[in-house]
Amino acid sequence: MHDIEPFYNWRHLYKAEYDERSPFYGRHYNTYEYTNKIYNYLIHPQWDSIDSDTLYIKLLFVEYTQHFAIIELFGEWNDAINNDIMFLKRNVIDELVYQGIRYFILIGENVLNFHSSDDSYYEEWYEDLENEGWIMLINFRQHVLDEMKRSRLHHYLIWSDTLNDVFWRKTTPHILFSALNEFLRHNHYLKEE
C-alpha cells in the first residue's frame, strides 16, 4: 500500500498546500518518512489525513471560478465504525462549500471497501449545494457502489456504469469537469436551465 501515490500529473496546475483557501494550506510533506497508515499498513506520505483512521484523500484540483473540486480517495470508507463521512464533511467539504464549491468529483479507484451508517452527513452535504451543484463518483469499485446503493446514498451521490470507466488521467481538470457536467445534462441528472 505504501507504493500507491495520489495522482501527481496536475501538480503543475494546482497544489492544495499552496492554496490559501484550501483546508490543506501550509501542509508539508516528507517523502522519505512514512508515518500515516491504514490498519497496520504504511501509506505514501503524499496522502492527506482527514483525521480518519481508514480514509485518506488528495485534493487534486479546485477551480473557484467554476466552483468545482476533484478529490481522490484512498483506503477504506468506513462510516459504521469510524464515521469517515463526518471527517470528510467537517474537515474538507464544509471548508470548500464555504469557498463556493458546488460541484464535487470524487475519484474512488483506491477505495477498497465501504461500510455504511446513517445518511445524515450525505443529506447535509447535498442540501449545502442548494440545488445548484452535485456530488459525482467516478471509477469506484462495483462492490463499493453496491453497498452505497443498499445504504440509499444514490439519493445524494451520482454514479453510473459509464462513470466507472472514466479515463480522467489523460485529460485536464477543466475538460474532465466539462465532460462530466455535459454527461449529467444529457442523462437528465440535472435540471434544464
Phi, psi of 75 (to 5 degrees): 115, -145
Region of residue 75 (left: phi > 0; alpha: psi -120 to 50; beta: else) = left
The whole-number pLDDT of residue 193 equals: 31
Contact 138, 168 (CB under 8 A): yes
pLDDT in the model for residue 192: 35
Does residue 6 form part of some domain? no
Q: What is the pTM of this model?
A: 0.94
Provide block-wise average pLDDT over 10 residues at a time, the chain (193 residues).
86 97 94 86 93 96 98 96 95 98 97 94 94 94 95 94 91 96 76 35
Q: Give the pairing of strands 55-63 and 41-42.
A: unpaired
Dihedral class, residue 141 (left if φ above 0, else alpha if ψ from -120 to 50, else beta): beta
Does 117 reside within a domain?
A: no
Asked if residue 119 is part of any domain, the answer here is no
The pairing of beta strand 48-49 with beta strand 41-42 = unpaired
pLDDT of residue 186: 82
Which pLDDT value is given to residue 31?
80
The pLDDT value given to residue 190: 46
Give the three cell numbers for residue 175: 475538460
Sequence-ordered list of residues with C-beta below 8 angstroms from that of 45, at least 6 positions apart, any chain: 29, 30, 31, 33, 34, 35, 36
d(C-alpha 175, C-alpha 22), whole Å: 22
Cα 47 from chain centroid (whole Å): 12
Provide CB contacts within 8 A for 148, sequence distance 6+.
114, 116, 137, 140, 154, 157, 159
Cα-to-chain-centroid distance, residue 102: 13
pLDDT of residue 177: 97
Number of domains in the chain: 1
- Going by C-alpha positions, the residue among 112, 119, 10, 129 that lies closest to residue 56 is 112
d(CA 149, CA 179): 24
Tell me which residue range forms the domain holding 45. 16-111+124-168
- Kindly report the length of the chain: 193
The CATH number assigned to the domain holding 137 equals: 3.30.750.24
